[in-house]
Chain A
Amino acid sequence: MVEQLSPLEPVFRAGSHGNFVDGIGVTLSEIAPGSIVQLAAWPGQEKKLMATINSVTALKLADGAGAGASSDRYAAFGFAPAKFLVTDTSEGLAATFAKEVPSAIGTVTDLSHGRTALRITGAKAEWVLAKLFAIDFSSAAFPLGSGISTTHHDIFTQIQRSGPASFDLYVFRSFARSFWKMLCHAADEVGYEVR
């Protein structure tokens, strides 16, 4: 299979940048999952769709807006009422769901090429993200696994908390390079490492 080309390639500069005199505040990386799939349920079918997601990914999605979960392989979160983003480190997840989600329950949309997944990890992750988004990133308001849809500078972004100090950000691929530059710029102050 042909490898996907990262939209960040010319601006992706591995190494330490910014003010890292006092250490690295955040680590930035592109996580490039094999599959990014959007699942959406018809009214009243949300529970069934969640059950299907749980069954395919072995995750346990809780009820509630933005609830999500992740494992080494999969990640899933609700980003809008009855809509979920599910990722898989392997390719082919859309095809799997296409078989599992009948049209009476909802729809499956493959976005594996359409979204770029970035990860920001580190003690200053919340600080850096707070520069870009009007979102409360504290763990109380944004617990582990949960997700949200938001926007920065006209760029639609879906964010999932992937660890106590780690967030995965999904942006439209065509905006990814611009967004990456903004993210690096925002991280300058705390020192960042690109991996």
Chain B
Amino acid sequence: MSPRRTPSGGRIDRLRTIRFTFDGTAYAGHQGDTLASALLSNGVSLFGRSFKYHRPRGVLTAGIDEPNALVTVLRGDVREPNIPATMVEIYEGLVAVSQNRFPSLAYDVSAINQLGGKFISAGFYYKTFMGPVIGPLKGTRFWMLCEKIIRRAAGLGRAGNVPDPSRYERMNAFCDVLVVGSGPAGLSAAREAATSGARVILAELDPTFGGSANWSGETIDGEPAIAWASDIVGELRDHDNVRLLKRTTVWGYYDGNTLAAIERVGDHKATPAKGAPRHRHWTIRAKNVVLASGAFERPLVFAGNDRPGVMMASAAMRYANQYGVLPGDKIVVFANNDSAYSAAATLNKAGATIVAIADLRQDVSEDCRTLARECGAELLTGHAVIATEGAKKLAGVKLAAFSIAAGVLPGNARKIEADCLIVSGGWSPTIHLASQAGARPVWDDDLQAFLPPESGNGWYGAGGFNGTFSTADAILEGFAAGRKAAGQPEVEIGTAPDIEPAALDPRPAPVFEIKANGKAFVDYQHDVTADDVRLAHLEGFVSVEHLKRYTTLGMATDQGKGSNVPGLAIMAEAVGKPIPEVGTTRFRPPYAPVSVGSLAAERFGDLKPDRLTPMHDWHLENGATMYSAGLWHRPMIYGEPGETVEQAYVREAQTTRQAAGIVDVSTLGKIAVQGPDAAEFLDRVYTNLFSTLPVGKARYGLMLREDGLVFDDGTTWRLGDNDFLMTTTTANAGKVMQHLEYFLDVVWPELRVHLTSVTDQWAGAAIGGPRAREILAACVTGTKVDNEALPFMGIVHGEIAGAPVLICRLSFSGEMAFEVYSGSGHGTHVWEALIEAGEPFGMVPYGLEALSTMRIEKGHVTGAEIDGRTSARDLHLGWMLSKKKPFIGSAMMDREGLVASGRLELVGLISLDNRPLNGGAHIVAEIDTDNPHGSLGHITAACFSPALGKYIALALVSGGKARHGKRAHVSDPLRNRFGPVEIVSHHFFDPEGKRMHG
């Protein structure tokens, strides 16, 4: 038997022993233990060191509100810091370590910070390190030095830096009623909603349903509360319309009754099930929500209230009843309300000695006096704990007489030996989710707590959340809330269940702090003391929101679960206003820490989907080096052994110009534009006419944005009177689709035109070069491909190797070229047939580098030049601007700025030092390497031109054509490339288009 484990009781499985380590020491616990309960059962009292002062800390609570016992859980090299030991379920082989200490938890050198006192009070880093400026020692430099030391000394756990191999998932859920919390109120609500036929989700953050029923020790209608809860959970399991989510924390309440939750699927297992995630993020869309999230017991603020051995009364009761663990042998109780008396009775029944009960109130009910007597405890009414004693564990407490009106009364303090002090400072309903949903909390003088308003838009409260602390009333409220949430008519609520023992009065005396010498902590997690709150007030932080940020009270993972109300109360006293006038901060999501992995979920390692052309596998099998073009994967080169990228693309381009080449153009955006008004629509969106385009022909088109700048270009094929196939650039396909849909939906809804993305319907292969027509002739059946049947921009239907194809004669390479479209499912089949047909003619496949090279040689524009700043005239495409019709952008294309002289215009460049040029390099009149300046423009695309045997580029240069034949320089200081260039026409190769037109 471990030192603090009770001989019987609790909901742990005593037959199953689980071994784990904490800070390298081996311990044993039982199935059902948390790390906190297991360590307590082993007599461990020191769990961690505090954030700033490195004070020894024990375990304060038994749940998600734990501010002290934060640990790091290790799984191999993966470390997860700042996990409350109260929320870690032990499993065989669990490895946990304490945090923020060196060299060990017991002997921490930074504990010297405790001597720092007021030197490191709230906001010390804002003012302590601002100067002085003496000689070279700047104030900021001094701060930078100190910052490193402070950052090393303060903080909590250390994050790991190895990849987390765990799996995370996201899940979407819809329900009529989401019940948050499965205590008596939540279970009652879920049962009522489920019985009415509503789809119900019940979310419980603990591993077992039942909430306080698991540890209250009550009976409900004669049945142990645990059994009562278990029966209801059994009923709920039998309902097809109920989903039960345990280990699930609902942490965010967003608009439209959308709630976020995290399910800890695998944290309690040594090895996760195959395919199962560690965490599952739930997005729950609920028609209505029942908030039955209970309440947190509040600490009292007194000197030494953070010493290991000080624990919330309800937590001590839970350890005894749920885990069979006593937090101490000799226990003192300190309270301002009745609820601690139940805890005292429970602990005494479990075997602890209750030495004394110090109650801040003078008047204590007879029920409480009876409990105190039964415990054998000395009842000290009108008394307060003014200090605690001990080093790393509690050795005793100091008590003094206390008056609510006057505080600690003068007189001799009394020492009592004890190894545990349990505290109750009243209860704060867990209204975080309601607050996130916009509810404005209402101060309740009786409970000395903020309560939610009666109900919100889409949510209903029940139980402790409402400030209802009797189990009987909580069950009735749950019943009512469940009915309302399920849309059921209100009914008269029946008899309240019979609860034993009878509920005590939870209303506390309005006392939050006992002023005495010594550090009295308000926010344990951030080492914020009562003096820090007063200091903030003295320094002018009168807004509660500013107070929070200045002192860090209630920030980070803790979110003020225990500290919010005591902090406000101390602030209110300092300001001289009642608490409700000081107000409260608004709780923000997340209510509790959420793993980033669960938010990323399946997007981890896969930030975007791959988009593959039908011939993708062929490219890989035939040596293509691929690269990403947006989501698409496209061949860059088909390199041969030993070839550089430049050698490969030069060979591919050269071979294409000498014989033939084939390139995968399936990625071009393709939009079916269909309907009786399709031609009219295209006339409006393109700068040139399409209504005059005959069926069976294609035309190059240019689109402007509404502001008159160039938007996109491409060819559009007329396949029928009302049927056009528009192609767009690969990069702009989505944008063009949106642009067109916008105009159809919003501007011209009267046009009968339908748009459909058919990019994926068609596989495209562009085959070009002097032998291209012969190659086609060798494999196409069902149509001729000679100049008569297939003139420039002509379209024919035929077959290749039995697959239907659509062939259009058009060219991007400047060669005699054809685009062959087939159904995507036939793409590889047709491609392979073309490759086979091209073999005797020396045809090669080529990638984007060669494609780009040939387009630069031809001076064709792409997205590099259509960069959102260029006009049609800048690109020498002014001839495409129809004067016969209006079109998108026509009203703005002639505005002053777009026709001004000196605009950047498209030109060609030839490197005069025979060295490569780079995209992005500036063009200048004269080189000034020390002070680069005077940019005339920039290079948009560059390559080695096999046709010219030179390094060439396209550029946008002020003055454009007027500079043809003149020398300039590239100035590229980032890449240290300077050199002379000649500015020439952008049509480097075959400017008359003889090769293309055959």
User: Which residues of A come within 8 Å of B, CB atoms?
Assistant: 1-7, 9-10, 18-19, 21, 38, 40, 42, 103-104, 106-107, 109-115, 130-131, 133-136, 138, 141, 153-155, 172-175, 177-179, 182, 185-191
Known: A109-B674, A178-B609. A130 touches B825 (CB 8 A): no
Q: Complex Cα distance A130/B201, Å?
A: 15
- Please give me the 7 A-B residue pairs with the lowest Cβ-Cβ distance, nearest first: A4-B825, A188-B275, A114-B761, A113-B823, A178-B609, A19-B274, A136-B174
Contact B172 A186 (CB under 8 A): no
Q: Does B455 contact A (CB under 8 A)?
A: no
- Chain B: CB-nearest residue to A141: B174
- Chain A: CB-nearest residue to B632: A174
Neighbouring B residues of A2 by C-beta, 8 Å: 801-803, 826, 829
Contact B277 A5 (CB under 8 A): no
Contact A138 B199 (CB under 8 A): yes
Q: Does B170 contact A (CB under 8 A)?
A: yes
Contact A9 B617 (CB under 8 A): yes
Q: How far is the CB of A100 from chain B (nearest CB, A)?
A: 15
Q: Does B283 contact A (CB under 8 A)?
A: yes
Neighbouring B residues of A111 by C-beta, 8 Å: 756, 758, 761
> Given contacts A112-B761, A153-B609, could you give 8 more A-B pairs where the C-beta distance is less than 8 Å?
A2-B826, A19-B276, A42-B675, A131-B170, A174-B612, A174-B759, A182-B602, A189-B273
Q: Does B960 contact A (CB under 8 A)?
A: no
Neighbouring A residues of B672 by C-beta, 8 Å: 109
Q: Complex Cα distance A155/B383, Å?
A: 67
Neighbouring B residues of A133 by C-beta, 8 Å: 172
Pick 27 A–B contacts, CB within 8 A, sort by A: A3-B825, A4-B823, A6-B825, A40-B754, A42-B752, A103-B722, A104-B676, A107-B754, A109-B754, A111-B758, A113-B763, A113-B825, A114-B757, A115-B760, A131-B169, A131-B602, A134-B172, A138-B199, A141-B174, A153-B609, A154-B609, A154-B631, A173-B760, A173-B761, A174-B613, A182-B609, A188-B274
Which one of A4, A40, A188 lies within 8 Å of B826 (CB-CB)? Answer: A4
Q: How far is the CB of A154 from chain B (nearest CB, A)?
A: 6
Q: How far is the CB of A39 from chain B (nearest CB, A)?
A: 10
- Chain B: CB-nearest residue to A36: B761
Neighbouring A residues of B610 by C-beta, 8 Å: 175, 177-178
Neighbouring B residues of A190 by C-beta, 8 Å: 275
Neighbouring A residues of B824 by C-beta, 8 Å: 7, 113-114, 173-174
Neighbouring B residues of A3 by C-beta, 8 Å: 825
Docked complex: B809-867 residues within 8 A CB-CB of A:
823-829
Q: Does B603 contact A (CB under 8 A)?
A: yes
Q: How far is the CB of A36 from chain B (nearest CB, A)?
A: 9
Neighbouring B residues of A10 by C-beta, 8 Å: 617
- Chain B: CB-nearest residue to A189: B275
Q: Complex Cα distance A130/B174, Å?
A: 10
Among A7, A113, A131, A174: residue with most chain B CB under 10 A = A174
Residue-wise, chain B 789-820 has the 8 Å CB interface mask toward A (1 for contact) of: 00000000000011100000000000000000
Contact A130 B823 (CB under 8 A): no
Known: A7-B614, A114-B758, A174-B612. A107 touches B675 (CB 8 A): yes
Known: A154-B631, A177-B610, A178-B611. A38 touches B756 (CB 8 A): yes
Contact B760 A174 (CB under 8 A): yes
Q: Complex Cα distance A127/B171, Å?
A: 8
Q: Complex Cα distance A114/B761, Å?
A: 3
Q: Complex Cα distance A59/B674, Å?
A: 26
Contact B608 A154 (CB under 8 A): yes
Q: Complex Cα distance A51/B899, Å?
A: 55
Q: Complex Cα distance A107/B724, Å?
A: 12
Q: Complex Cα distance A2/B802, Å?
A: 6
Contact A5 B829 (CB under 8 A): yes
Neighbouring B residues of A1 by C-beta, 8 Å: 802
Q: Complex Cα distance A143/B825, Å?
A: 32
Neighbouring B residues of A136 by C-beta, 8 Å: 174, 285
Neighbouring B residues of A134 by C-beta, 8 Å: 172, 283, 285
Q: How far is the CB of B918 from chain A (nearest CB, A)?
A: 32
Contact A131 B171 (CB under 8 A): yes
Neighbouring A residues of B283 by C-beta, 8 Å: 134
Q: How far is the CB of B278 from chain A (nearest CB, A)?
A: 12
Neighbouring A residues of B275 by C-beta, 8 Å: 18-19, 187-191
Q: Complex Cα distance A85/B56, Å?
A: 67
Neighbouring A residues of B825 by C-beta, 8 Å: 3-6, 112-113, 173
Q: Complex Cα distance A38/B825, Å?
A: 18
Known: A19-B273, A113-B760. A175 touches B611 (CB 8 A): yes
Q: Complex Cα distance A106/B756, Å?
A: 13
Q: Complex Cα distance A188/B273, Å?
A: 10
Neighbouring B residues of A174 by C-beta, 8 Å: 611-613, 632, 666, 759-760, 824
Neighbouring A residues of B524 by C-beta, 8 Å: none
Q: Does B762 contact A (CB under 8 A)?
A: yes
Known: A2-B801, A107-B754, A113-B825. A185 touches B602 (CB 8 A): yes
Known: A5-B829, A131-B171, A177-B610. A114 touches B760 (CB 8 A): yes
Neighbouring B residues of A141 by C-beta, 8 Å: 174
Q: Complex Cα distance A154/B630, Å?
A: 12
Known: A2-B803, A106-B754, A190-B275. A113 touches B761 (CB 8 A): yes
Docked complex: B740-762 residues within 8 A CB-CB of A:
752, 754, 756-762
Neighbouring B residues of A114 by C-beta, 8 Å: 757-762, 824
Q: Complex Cα distance A186/B612, Å?
A: 21
Contact B612 A7 (CB under 8 A): yes
Neighbouring B residues of A175 by C-beta, 8 Å: 609-611
Known: A154-B608, A188-B275. A173 touches B173 (CB 8 A): no
Docked complex: B2-23 residues within 8 A CB-CB of A:
none
Q: Complex Cα distance A155/B757, Å?
A: 13
- Chain A: CB-nearest residue to B761: A114
Q: Complex Cα distance A107/B174, Å?
A: 36
Which one of B174, B612, B752, B758 lies within 8 Å of A138 (CB-CB)? Answer: B174
Contact A179 B172 (CB under 8 A): no
Residue-wise, chain B 577-617 has the 8 Å CB interface mask toward A (1 for contact) of: 00000000000000000000000001100101111111001
